[in-house]
Chains A and B, each alone.
Chain A
Amino acid sequence: MRKVYSALAWIIAGGVVVQAAAIAFAFGGVLNRVSNGDVVDKALLESGGAGGTGELGFWIHGIVGGVVMPLLAMALLVVSFVVRARGAKLWAAITFGLVALQVTLGFSITDVPYLGLIHGANALAIVVAAAVAALRVRRSSRSTASTGAGTDAEGATSDAVAA
Chain B
Amino acid sequence: MPSRRELLRCAVVGVAVTTALGAGALAWSSTLLGEYSVMDMGSGEHGGHGAGGHGTHGVSGGGAPAASGTVGGASALSVTSLTADADRPADVRVELVARQGTIDIPGGRAVDGYTVNGTSPGPEIRARQGDLVEVEFVNESVTDGATLHWHGIDVPNAADGVAGITQDAVPVGGRHTYRFVAEDAGTYWYHSHQVSHVQVERGLLGAIVIDPSEPQEPPEPTDAAALDVTALLHVYGGQHTLNGRVEDAHVDASPGSTVRVRVINTDQGTAAVWSDAPFRVVATDGHEVNEPTEVDGQRLLIPAGGRADVAVQAPSHGAVRLHVGGARSILIGDASASEASVPKAPQPRETLDLLAYGTPAPLGFDPAAPDRSYDYVIARRYGIIDGRPGNFWTVNGRMFPDVPMFHVREGDVVAMHLRNDSGDVHPMHLHGHHVVVLARDGVAASGSPWVVDSLDVHPGESYDIAFVADNPGIWSDHCHTLPHAVDGLIAHVMYEGVTTPFTINGEAGNRPE
A interface residues (Cβ-Cβ under 8 A, vs B):
38-39, 41-47, 49-50, 52, 66-67, 70, 82, 103, 107-112
A52 and B272 contact, Cβ closer than 8 Å, known pairs A67-B389, A107-B391, A107-B423: no
Q: How far is the CA of A69 from the CA of B391 in the complex (A)?
A: 13
Tell me which of B92-100, B250-258, B263-271, B403-411 binds A. B263-271
Starting from the known contacts A43-B325, A46-B483, A49-B237, 20 additional A-B residue pairs (CB-CB under 8 Å) come to A41-B240, A41-B271, A41-B325, A41-B326, A42-B267, A42-B269, A42-B270, A43-B233, A43-B304, A44-B240, A44-B269, A46-B481, A47-B201, A47-B235, A49-B235, A70-B382, A103-B391, A110-B459, A111-B459, A112-B423
Kindly list chain A residues whose C-beta atoms are within 8 Å of the C-beta of B228: none
Kindly list chain A residues whose C-beta atoms are within 8 Å of the C-beta of B382: 70
Kindly list chain B residues whose C-beta atoms are within 8 Å of the C-beta of A39: 240, 326-327
Kindly list chain B residues whose C-beta atoms are within 8 Å of the C-beta of A46: 267-269, 304, 481, 483
A43 and B238 contact, Cβ closer than 8 Å, known pairs A107-B380, A107-B423, A108-B423: no
Q: Across the interface, do A43 and B423 meet the contact criterion of CB distance under 8 Å? A: no
Within the complex, what minimum Cβ distance (angstroms) separates A58 from chain B? 12
Confirm or deny: B112 has a beta carbon within 8 angstroms of a beta carbon on chain A: no
Q: Across the interface, do B423 and A41 meet the contact criterion of CB distance under 8 Å? A: no
Q: How far is the CA of A70 from the CA of B391 in the complex (A)?
A: 11
Kindly list chain B residues whose C-beta atoms are within 8 Å of the C-beta of A47: 201, 235, 238, 267-269
Closest to B389 in A: A67
A52 and B380 contact, Cβ closer than 8 Å, known pairs A42-B269, A42-B270, A111-B423: no
Q: How far is the CA of A143 from the CA of B66 in the complex (A)?
A: 66
Q: How far is the CA of A4 from the CA of B391 in the complex (A)?
A: 27
Q: How far is the CA of A46 from the CA of B480 in the complex (A)?
A: 11
Q: Across the interface, do B380 and A41 meet the contact criterion of CB distance under 8 Å? A: no
Closest to B380 in A: A107
Within the complex, what minimum Cβ distance (angstroms) separates B159 from chain A? 28
Kindly list chain B residues whose C-beta atoms are within 8 Å of the C-beta of A50: 238
Closest to A108 in B: B423
Kindly list chain A residues whose C-beta atoms are within 8 Å of the C-beta of B389: 67
Confirm or deny: B412 has a beta carbon within 8 angstroms of a beta carbon on chain A: no
Closest to A70 in B: B382
- Name the contact of A41 in the complex, choosing from B13, B239, B272, B390 (C-beta under 8 A): B272
Within the complex, what minimum Cβ distance (angstroms) separates A2 from chain B? 15
Q: Across the interface, do B459 and A43 meet the contact criterion of CB distance under 8 Å? A: no
A110 and B424 contact, Cβ closer than 8 Å, known pairs A42-B270, A45-B269, A46-B268: yes
Kindly list chain A residues whose C-beta atoms are within 8 Å of the C-beta of B424: 110-111
A82 and B269 contact, Cβ closer than 8 Å, known pairs A39-B240, A43-B235, A66-B391: no
Confirm or deny: B48 has a beta carbon within 8 angstroms of a beta carbon on chain A: no
Q: Mark B357-369, 1 if CB is under 8 A from A, else 0.
A: 0000000000000
Q: List 29 A-B contacts (CB under 8 A).
A: A38-B327, A41-B269, A41-B271, A41-B325, A42-B268, A42-B425, A43-B240, A43-B265, A43-B270, A43-B271, A43-B304, A44-B240, A44-B269, A46-B269, A46-B304, A47-B235, A47-B267, A47-B269, A49-B239, A50-B238, A52-B238, A66-B391, A67-B389, A70-B382, A110-B423, A110-B459, A111-B424, A111-B460, A112-B423
Q: How far is the CA of A158 from the CA of B369 in the complex (A)?
A: 82
Q: Across the interface, do A82 and B13 meet the contact criterion of CB distance under 8 Å? A: yes
Kindly list chain A residues whose C-beta atoms are within 8 Å of the C-beta of B304: 42-43, 46
Q: Across the interface, do A49 and B238 meet the contact criterion of CB distance under 8 Å? A: yes
Within the complex, what minimum Cβ distance (angstroms) separates A75 from chain B? 13
Closest to B269 in A: A42
Q: How far is the CA of A43 from the CA of B240 in the complex (A)?
A: 9
Q: How far is the CA of A50 from the CA of B327 in the complex (A)?
A: 13
Q: How far is the CA of A46 from the CA of B266 in the complex (A)?
A: 12
Kindly list chain A residues whose C-beta atoms are within 8 Å of the C-beta of B459: 110-111
Q: How far is the CA of A67 from the CA of B384 in the complex (A)?
A: 12
Give residues of chain B (384-432) contacting chain A, Cβ–Cβ below 8 Å: 389-391, 423-425
Q: How far is the CA of A38 from the CA of B235 in the complex (A)?
A: 12
Interface centre among B237, B240, B390 (most CB of A within 10 A): B240
Give residues of chain B (210-248) contacting chain A, Cβ–Cβ below 8 Å: 233, 235, 237-240
Q: How far is the CA of A126 from the CA of B109 in the complex (A)?
A: 43
Q: Across the interface, do A42 and B238 meet the contact criterion of CB distance under 8 Å? A: no
Kindly list chain B residues whose C-beta atoms are within 8 Å of the C-beta of A43: 233, 235, 240, 265, 267-271, 304, 325-326
Closest to A51 in B: B238
Closest to A107 in B: B423
Within the complex, what minimum Cβ distance (angstroms) separates A163 from chain B? 37
Q: Mark B1-37, 1 if CB is under 8 A from A, else 0.
A: 0000000000001000000000000000000000000
Kindly list chain B residues whose C-beta atoms are within 8 Å of the C-beta of A70: 382
Q: How far is the CA of A49 from the CA of B327 in the complex (A)?
A: 14
Kindly list chain A residues whose C-beta atoms are within 8 Å of the C-beta of B272: 41
Q: How far is the CA of A112 from the CA of B424 in the complex (A)?
A: 10
Q: How far is the CA of A49 from the CA of B267 in the complex (A)?
A: 13
Closest to A115 in B: B423
Q: How far is the CA of A133 from the CA of B378 in the complex (A)?
A: 37
Kindly list chain A residues whose C-beta atoms are within 8 Å of the C-beta of B325: 41, 43
Q: How far is the CA of A103 from the CA of B382 in the complex (A)?
A: 11
Within the complex, what minimum Cβ distance (angstroms) separates A122 from chain B? 17
Give residues of chain B (114-149) contacting chain A, Cβ–Cβ below 8 Å: none
Within the complex, what minimum Cβ distance (angstroms) separates A162 from chain B? 34
Q: How far is the CA of A32 from the CA of B235 in the complex (A)?
A: 19
Give residues of chain B (177-220) contacting chain A, Cβ–Cβ below 8 Å: 201
Kindly list chain B residues whose C-beta atoms are within 8 Å of the C-beta of A41: 240, 269, 271-272, 325-327
